Amino acid sequence: MIFDTLILAVQSQPQQGGGIGIGYFLLIGATMIVSLMVSGMLKSRFNQYSQVPLRMTGAQVAEVMLRQSGINDVQVIHVPGHLTDHYDPLRKTVNLSDKVYYENSVAAAAVAAHECGHALQHQQAYAWLTFRSKMVPAVQFASTIQQYLMFGAMVGAGMFHSPTMLWIWVAVFGVTTLFALVTLPVEFDASNRAMAWLERSGLANQMEHDKAKNALFWAAMTYVAGAVGAVAQMLYWIAMIMGRREE
């Protein structure tokens, strides 16, 4: 019922070149606005909680969490940029941005613990992380050819009235969409592991439990916004193709 309604909505949209309705551009705009709002909230919370002091720097939090978790083969290093923190499973490094690495604050501790959560997932062969890692080559390939396929799909649909290329583009776009969805349990689980360790270590009491939890929540929400946007776009394209078949 919902998908049938979406098809009707797409069919009623004024079509631009190649059959793209104005609704698609509205969808892209709405997705960008939501992503910017979530990103802005994350930066705001990070800046706010950066003012709440802690006796340990982000690097020290990461080192202690790894050691107490029995992980001795992962190195904590700093990387340039703002909120560029990530875990590299190939090099086995927890990469912390300069501010997180050197700063002793609630924000730095929360981010560092979250990245260590990914190291714990790697150590324990967490299924979703393993699956996401296996998807990386396919996602890299799909991301590279997406823009070219989209152009070919529009030409094929507009000049030859053939949906074949559109379906191929949707399939390729589906790979990156699936990756965005698989990322969600990985990120939320890492935040849960981080929060659990911060509570066990006693740092959560010192850094105020609610602030730590809120910082981790908004970090994960950036991935939610991306996944929702990707799913919405894919559903739009599928509805557009199905709508063409029913004309």
Q: Per-residue pLDDT tens for 4-13? A: 443 434 444 4
Q: Is the distance from CB of 108 to CB of 130 less than 8 angstroms? A: no
In this model, does residue 202 exceed pLDDT 90? no
pLDDT, tens digit (0-9, with 9 covering 90-100), for 27-61: 677 778 888 888 888 888 888 888 888 889 999 99
Q: Is residue 70 part of a domain?
A: no
Q: Is residue 97 part of a domain?
A: no
What angle separates helix 209-245 from helix 22-49, to the nearest 10 degrees?
A: 170
Query: What is residue 205's predicted lDDT score, i.e. its pLDDT?
Result: 72
Q: What is the mean pLDDT of the chain?
A: 82
Q: Is residue 64 part of a domain?
A: no
| Radius of gyration of the CA atoms of the chain, in A | 21
Query: What is residue 215's predicted lDDT score, i.e. its pLDDT?
Result: 86
Q: Is the distance from CB of 185 to CB of 130 less than 8 angstroms? A: no
- Print the domain residue range for 191: 2-52+107-245
pLDDT, tens digit (0-9, with 9 covering 90-100), for 151-191: 666 665 555 456 777 788 788 889 999 999 999 999 999 99
Give the DSSP letter of residue 14.
P
Q: Is the distance from CB of 97 to CB of 43 less than 8 angstroms? A: no
What six digits make up the tokens of 237? Answer: 């394209």
Q: Is residue 17 part of a domain?
A: yes
Number of domains in the chain: 1
Q: Give the mean pLDDT of 126-144.
A: 93
Q: Is residue 123 part of a domain?
A: yes
pTM for the full predicted model: 0.79
CA distances from residue 195 to 16, 192, 202, 205, 212 in whole angstroms, order as listed: 48, 5, 11, 11, 7
Tell me if residue 115 is catalytic. Answer: yes
In this model, does residue 67 exceed pLDDT 50? yes
What six digits make up the tokens of 46? Answer: 């990070």
Q: Which of 115, 199, 246, 247 is the catalytic position?
A: 115
Q: Is residue 94 part of a domain?
A: no
Q: Is residue 62 part of a domain?
A: no
**Distance of alpha carbon 60 from the chain centroid:** 26
Q: Is residue 182 part of a domain?
A: yes
